[in-house]
Structure 1
Amino acid sequence: MGLLVLLGCVSLWAGLALAEGGSSFINCQQYLYKTAEPEGFDTQETRKICQRFNNAYHFATLYDRQRLTPHWSAYTLKGKSCDKQPQRKSSWFVEPQLKDGNTCTEMKIESESGLGKHERNSTQAISEDYENTNYDRGHLNPNSFQCGSGRTATFTLTNAVPMDPCFNRIHWGKLEKSLKDKLTINCLNENGTAYLVTGAVGGTEKIPKENGDKEGDRERTYERVAVPSHIWTDVCCDNANNNRKFSFAFLAENKEEPTLQVFPAEQLNEELRKMYKSLNIRVLADDCNAQSPKTEEVIESMKKDLNGAFRDLKIEFQYSPPSKKKKVFG
């Protein structure tokens, strides 16, 4: 198997590997609103990944090889329904391309990656990092938003961050379900394209922790993977009919009893600039018609789904007329 993997990777030409392995999103720019990537997140340790599985590109990720987590994943909502979906994966993928000089551009399960354990965990998180930590491998690009191979492709550790299990399975899970339903009705069914970027703001905590490891007799490196303090999503429904085009953003705490803020895309930029201490951050190419009446309609319908799902739900938007500011606490 190892030889087959090696041959399969070597056969990919170097130009393709360069485009996928850190320098460009050219092969997956269809997942970026106006083909423009988020700005202000790049560092010397970040790598741009066009997430490739079964010879197809499924979404884009900016990955941090120092924090061992993605800064963000950009994707689109696929289809109104998905028939005969693959079973949820128990084994997650890793990215051989994150190792400098590796030309394999397709995600692989760890045993078939062609990399030794040290080579794998020197540039990315591995499944062992999450064992006995009380954290989930939380998707940024949700598997429920994708179909077929695209759904399987979300199970790569370069699309995962440590999430509090209550936050991931209950609070954020309810938000994802409501968001998918509302985007299907108000965007896909109206001939629009739903572009989303979900990201994680790095905190100070790292996993795994030695004092929480139940298997203390094994060799394991501790304090590796950064636990995010917040999870955010920017949503843009692009539509040729400007009256049907809308956008908004979410920002939530990654903890058992989180708060959730809902506001315009530009306000998310401002919040992230404070958190990252950088004035250059911009997620979407523009505000994607944030002041559209359609925005208010979709948010109000989501509010009904999310009441009680978060400790504190704060929705803040300024709709027309511009002089009035609406602030709702649920």
Structure 2
Amino acid sequence: MTILFLLGCFLPLLSATVVLDFNHIERCKDSLYMGTPPRGFTDNNLKRICQRYSDRPRYVTLYDPQKRIPVYSAYTFKKTEGDRRVDYPWMFEPQLAETDGNGNMQPFPTGYLHMKFEDSQAVLDDYSDVVLYERGHLNPDQHQSTPHDRAATYTLTNVVPQIREFNIGPWRQYEERIRVRLNNFCRGVAYIVTGVTTRGNMIRRNNQDRVAIPEDVWSAYCCPDYDRNSPSDVRIRFPTYGVLAKNAKDGNSVHEMPLMELENFLKSNLDVDQNLQIFYDNCISPSPLPLYLQHTI
């Protein structure tokens, strides 16, 4: 009886990184402004991943195992010098398919594919013969600074199929623009949420629908502690601002917009309710988090 009780006490410490809410694992919620994830998502089949690498939570992802892409990844921006990307091995999330006591993302094994993981997530073969699309990060490695934080972005649960011209063109330019803006004018911690919308188009493999192709890519940042002496054209983009772009070869320019404008678009193009809110209290209130929200999912 006593042994069973003690085991029950320690089970939460051993839990895998696919969780019921982002408060489940210590430090997982650190990637979220006020420890609060975007609210309003209504699909109960979505999986909450505390992206854990080298025994430490790095960021969080809301993942769709049926479409095999993330709905969004949320992370804290780390100031960097914008150095070139480094190649890291691609990884997968074992906990989407089975409980794993380790809790870390794992590199794909060389020469062998875990067939049992294919139902729950994308695998390397889904991208191997696709010419039009690249693996586009939602949490990009150039927004991270340490080797481990960068390596953790190279999991297929953090990427979506992006048209090559969009990925290496307008979207990469936007990621660099935000890197420079937050480096120069955000004094405290900056929180970023980046996600996608879909319309039903899929990458197919072996005559089966495998991976959803995003229609739009969106992002928003929240930096409550910013330089209030910055130029006016910069200052109007703080403490929070959003962006929206088409995942397309043409007509893929990136449009920056106020957070509320982005949220209004997402209410009509995502499986969310009218209470959608990307950042708690729209990133403008220093008030403490109400008790009723401290354990929301």
Query: Is 2:245 aligned against 1:252?
Result: yes
* Distance change in 2, residues 1:221/1:29 (3 Å): farther
Within the candidate set 206, 217, 224, 1:231 is matched to: 217
Which residue in 2 is equivalent to 1:306?
A: none
Query: Is 2:272 aligned against 1:274?
Result: no
Structure 1 consecutive aligned stretches of length 4 or more whose deviation exceeds 6 Å: 240-244
Confirm or deny: 8 A CA contact 1:97 1:103 kept in the other structure. no
Confirm or deny: 8 A CA contact 1:264 1:287 kept in the other structure. no
Counterpart secondary structure, 1:63: strand
Q: Which string of whole-angstrom CA distances, capped at 9 and with x for unpartnered residues, describes residues 189-243 of structure 1? A: xx3211100001122110135xxxxxxxxxx463211001000001111218888
Q: CA shift at 1:79, angstroms?
A: 2.8
CA distance in structure 2 between the aligned counterparts of 1:19 and 1:242, rounded to whole angstroms: 42
Which residue in 2 is equivalent to 1:72?
A: 72
Which residue in 1 is equivalent to 2:292?
A: none
* Distance change in 2, residues 1:250/1:82 (3 Å): closer
Confirm or deny: 8 A CA contact 1:21 1:48 kept in the other structure. yes
Counterpart secondary structure, 1:101: coil
Q: CA shift at 1:17, angstroms?
A: 4.8
Which residue in 2 is equivalent to 1:322?
A: none
* Distance change in 2, residues 1:117/1:207 (3 Å): same
* Distance change in 2, residues 1:44/1:102 (3 Å): farther
TM-score by length of 2: 0.80
Confirm or deny: 8 A CA contact 1:195 1:238 kept in the other structure. no
Query: What is the 5 A alignment of 1:23-34?
Result: 23-26=20-23, 27=26, 28-34=28-34
Q: CA shift at 1:47, angstroms?
A: 1.0
Which residue in 2 is equivalent to 1:284?
A: 279
Aligned residues: 261
CA distance in structure 1 between the aligned counterparts of 2:276 and 2:51, rounded to whole angstroms: 23
Query: Is 2:197 aligned against 1:201?
Result: yes
Which residue in 2 is equivalent to 1:294?
A: none
Query: What is the 5 A alignment of 1:11-22?
Result: 14-18=11-15, 20-22=17-19
CA distance in structure 1 between the aligned counterparts of 2:194 and 2:179, rounded to whole angstroms: 14
Q: CA shift at 1:82, angstroms?
A: 7.8
Counterpart secondary structure, 2:135: strand
Return 5+ residue gaps in structure 1 as ranges: 1-12, 210-219, 291-330
Counterpart secondary structure, 2:274: coil
Confirm or deny: 8 A CA contact 1:97 1:104 kept in the other structure. no
CA distance in structure 2 between the aligned counterparts of 1:107 and 1:86, rounded to whole angstroms: 20
Which residue in 1 is equivalent to 2:143?
A: 145
Q: CA shift at 1:261, angstroms?
A: 2.4
Q: CA shift at 1:42, angstroms?
A: 4.6
* Distance change in 2, residues 1:221/1:150 (3 Å): farther
Q: Which string of whole-angstrom CA distances, capped at 9 and with x for unpartnered residues, describes residues 270-291 of structure 1? A: 110000253232211122249x
Counterpart secondary structure, 1:255: coil
CA distance in structure 2 between the aligned counterparts of 1:143 and 1:207, rounded to whole angstroms: 24
CA distance in structure 2 between the aligned counterparts of 1:259 and 1:241, rounded to whole angstroms: 28
CA distance in structure 2 between the aligned counterparts of 1:200 and 1:182, rounded to whole angstroms: 23
TM-score by length of 1: 0.73
Confirm or deny: 8 A CA contact 1:21 1:49 kept in the other structure. yes
Identity of paired residues, percent?
Answer: 32
AA of the residue aligned to 1:193: V
Which residue in 1 is equivalent to 2:4?
A: none
Counterpart secondary structure, 2:109: helix
If asked which structure has higher relative contact order (CA below 8 Å, sep 6+), I would say 2
Q: CA shift at 1:21, angstroms?
A: 1.5
AA of the residue aligned to 1:283: I
Confirm or deny: 8 A CA contact 2:185 2:226 kept in the other structure. no
AA of the residue aligned to 1:94: F
Q: CA shift at 1:265, angstroms?
A: 1.2
Query: What is the 5 A alignment of 1:75-90?
Result: 75-81=75-81, 87-89=86-88
AA of the residue aligned to 1:248: Y
Query: What is the 5 A alignment of 1:113-262?
Result: 117-133=114-130, 134-147=132-145, 148-187=147-186, 191-208=187-204, 220=206, 222-239=208-225, 246-257=239-250, 258-262=252-256
AA of the residue aligned to 2:138: L
Q: CA shift at 1:100, angstroms?
A: 3.9
